[in-house]
Structures are given as C-alpha cells and as structure tokens.
Homo-oligomer: A and B are copies of this chain.
Amino acid sequence: MNEVFVAGTGMTRFGKFDDATARTMAAEAVNVALADANFSATDVQMVFFSNAAGGLITGQEMIRGQAALWGTGLLGVPIVNVENACASASTAFHLACSAVASGQVDVALAVGVEKMSIPDKERVFAAIGTAVDLERRGELEEIFSGGPVGPDRSLFMDIYASLTRNYMRHSGATAADFAEVAVKSHAAAALNPRAQYRDPVTVEQVLASRTVAEPLTLLMCSPIGDGAAAVIVTRRERLAPDGPRIRVAASVLGSGRDRAPTEPTALQLAARRAYETSGIAPGDVDVIEVHDAAAPAELMAYEELGLCPEGDGPKLLHSGSTRLGGRQVVNPSGGLLSRGHPIGATGCAQIVELADQLRNRCGPRQVEEARIGLSENAGGFLGTDNAAIAITILAADSAR
C-alpha cells in the first residue's frame, strides 16, 4: 500500500447563505483545494462526493456530485456519490485515501457539501431524522422522546439529551460543564474566519439560552448551516516540492451495531484500530477535532478516544489541556457547535482544520508545534450506537 498524503485542502465559510447552492459551494471548496495543491482539475483521477441529505432538503438525489461539480472541469473521471449521515465526508475521504493507497489512482478528491438553510425548517428536521432506521423510528421515539416527535424539532437532540443524562450519572458532569464546552468552542471559532458563529459566549449565556432537550440548551447544539470542504490526497511523489507533507497515518471507518452497555462503542473500536495501524498513542496527538453535534459529545469523546480515563471527561475539560494553549487542543476550529455542521461537509472540514494546524497556518488559533492531528466523525444512530464512525490521524512528515 502506498503512503497517502494530503496535497491540498479548501473550504467555504460555514454559515447560512441564501444564495449559496451545492454547486457554488462545491466549486469554491474544490478550486481552493486545487490551488492549494498546485494541481489543475485534470490532475484529479477520481472523485468521492459526500452529501447527506440533498435528496430530502434540496431535491437533488442520484447524481449529486455530477450536478454539483458541473463546470469545475472534474467531470469524466469516476465520481462516486457517498452518504453516511454526519460521517459522509469522512467516508468520502476514507475512500479517496484507499484509492491512492491501492495505487488505483495517483490523485483523488474528497469533497463534502451540504445546503441546509432553506426556509422550510420542518423539511430540514425531517431530513436529519432519516439518520435513524425509519423502520425503528417509532421505537426510538418511544425510548428517547417518550413518544412521537413533532415536525418542529429533530429526534436527534432527544437522543443526545438522553445519552447526556446517562453520561451525567456516570461521570458527574453537570450542565455547567457542557456550557463550558460551548464557551471553549465559541472562543476558538472567534479566531476562525471560516466559522459559522464568531461571537464569544459566556457560561451564563449558554445556560440561559432556550432549552432544546433537558439538559441541552440551544447554544449546546450544533446549528443548521451551509458549507463545503474539499481534500485532495496523493502519493508522496506527486507532492509539490515546497508543498505540505501531511501524511494520512490512519483512516478507519466503522459502523455501529446493537451492543450491550459493557461492550466497546464503534468509536472506541475505530479509535483503537487507528492507534494500532498508525503506531500513534492517544497521548501523542497534538490537535483533535471531535464530533460535538451537542456539547456533551466532546466530553464523551475525550473518554472514548482515550485522552483521559472513563468518567474523567469533565476533569480533563477543567484542566485546560484541551483549550487553545493547552497540551491537546480539541476543536480549535470551533467544532460542530461554532464552526458549524453542514452535515455532508463536516468530516472534510475537520480534516481541513487538522491539515492547516499541521501546516502552521491557523494564525491566532494555531496549536503550537502541532505535528499529529486526529479527527472523530460520527454519523446517524442505530439505537445503542452510531451508525457510522470515522477516525482519521494525520501526521506532519518532515518539512511542511
């Protein structure tokens, strides 16, 4: 298997942009990534296009990549349309890495796009709600919401709230801890020009914001938004001489299943494999992007990724180690909470941030001496676990 390198990255700002379409956003992210890699569109030999819910939100299904990439000069090569709920873009990235690792192609592109800010919010909530198995949706609503969920909200926040209440019992975490996560997220996003929300918030503001599902308040939940992110991967020989040297040390994909509470989660299993295949230990990682679709997920991820012992998530947060300036910075981009979460773009956006950090080009939010980055991207929910999970580890390899 060839070593795989990130040759270039690009993304749009995340946010709510009335005029933006999948096409305009895809073109922007792809063109930035191509310029960054010093490649032209004709260098790209295969495209993995990620979108999670375009069929239900914008109406475009079936050939989303071909439609969105029309006009970029990329058409003609194989285009694979990939979907894996909130882990769609990491899935596309995983396949792009595989295509290069296998020698099938020299240059592959993963690009994720989502257009979510449409006037019809019910339609968006309904689309998000398809990240569960619809045949078991009633059962999940019973378990997590105590009955049918109306069209004005997403079942997912009830699921997160329930998981959060469990987590509170097991770790002693409090709503104030989750508010602290949101504060940290906003503080980082304030330094990220591509973030959706760039206003710092206080613990009091987070706690005082509208309750979405006890104990989650609005500012503890990732927003609806639009955006695109693109990552080009290649073999070492195709890297520009003065370009980045960001090696993909691990790209692990997994799916969840019904599991007993004592069994490891899909996230834990994928993280273990990523550490094993890369030879990198949790303590070696300098910068981390986790899937904080709701604030408590960041603390749970600390534990499941092995950054701290089980139950010590709040303690790690309060140590300051995971905030900017700390030893293992988590979500310097602002994460899903503040950078934003246009579903099908998120996984690639995490990788864009890690690559930028490893290339020392993050300005005021730069993690000092960042050499190893890890992302955790989770998608959908099956009842006791995520439906899809992706762990990526990037390593700065000699010169940047």
A53 interfacial by beta-carbon distance below 8 Å: yes
Asked if B130 contacts A66 (CB within 8 A), the reply is no
Asked if A63 contacts B379 (CB within 8 A), the reply is yes
Tell me which residues across on chain B come within 8 A of A130, comparing CB atoms: 55, 59-63
Asked if A79 contacts B21 (CB within 8 A), the reply is no
A295 interfacial by beta-carbon distance below 8 Å: no
Asked if A62 contacts B81 (CB within 8 A), the reply is no
Asked if A70 contacts B256 (CB within 8 A), the reply is no
A56 interfacial by beta-carbon distance below 8 Å: yes
A286 interfacial by beta-carbon distance below 8 Å: no
Asked if A133 contacts B67 (CB within 8 A), the reply is yes
Asked if B101 contacts A104 (CB within 8 A), the reply is yes
A183 interfacial by beta-carbon distance below 8 Å: no
Tell me which residues across on chain B come within 8 A of A255, comparing CB atoms: 66, 75-79
Give chain A interface residues in 361-376, CB to chain B under 8 Å. none
Tell me which residues across on chain B come within 8 A of A131, comparing CB atoms: 61-63
A321 interfacial by beta-carbon distance below 8 Å: no
Tell me which residues across on chain B come within 8 A of A103, comparing CB atoms: 1, 102
A63 to B: closest C-beta gap in Å: 4
| Chain A residues with a Cβ under 8 A of chain B | 1, 21, 23, 52-53, 55-56, 58-64, 66-67, 70, 75-85, 88, 91, 94-95, 98-99, 101-104, 127, 130-136, 253-258, 266, 269, 379-380, 382, 387-388
Given contacts A62-B85, A70-B382, A98-B99, 20 further A-B contacts (CB under 8 A): A1-B102, A21-B135, A23-B135, A53-B55, A53-B61, A58-B134, A61-B131, A62-B83, A63-B130, A63-B131, A66-B133, A75-B255, A76-B254, A76-B257, A78-B254, A80-B253, A81-B82, A81-B84, A98-B104, A102-B102
Tell me which residues across on chain B come within 8 A of A76, comparing CB atoms: 254-257, 266, 269
CA–CA, A48 and B321, complex, Å: 39
CB contact between A127 and one of B61, B67, B94, B95 (< 8 Å): that residue: B61
Tell me which residues across on chain B come within 8 A of A99, comparing CB atoms: 98
Tell me which residues across on chain B come within 8 A of A101, comparing CB atoms: 102, 104
Tell me which residues across on chain B come within 8 A of A84, comparing CB atoms: 62-63, 79-81
Asked if B82 contacts A82 (CB within 8 A), the reply is yes
CB contact between A83 and one of B59, B64, B77, B379 (< 8 Å): that residue: B64
Asked if B62 contacts A380 (CB within 8 A), the reply is yes
Asked if A256 contacts B75 (CB within 8 A), the reply is yes
Asked if A60 contacts B21 (CB within 8 A), the reply is no
Asked if B23 contacts A70 (CB within 8 A), the reply is no
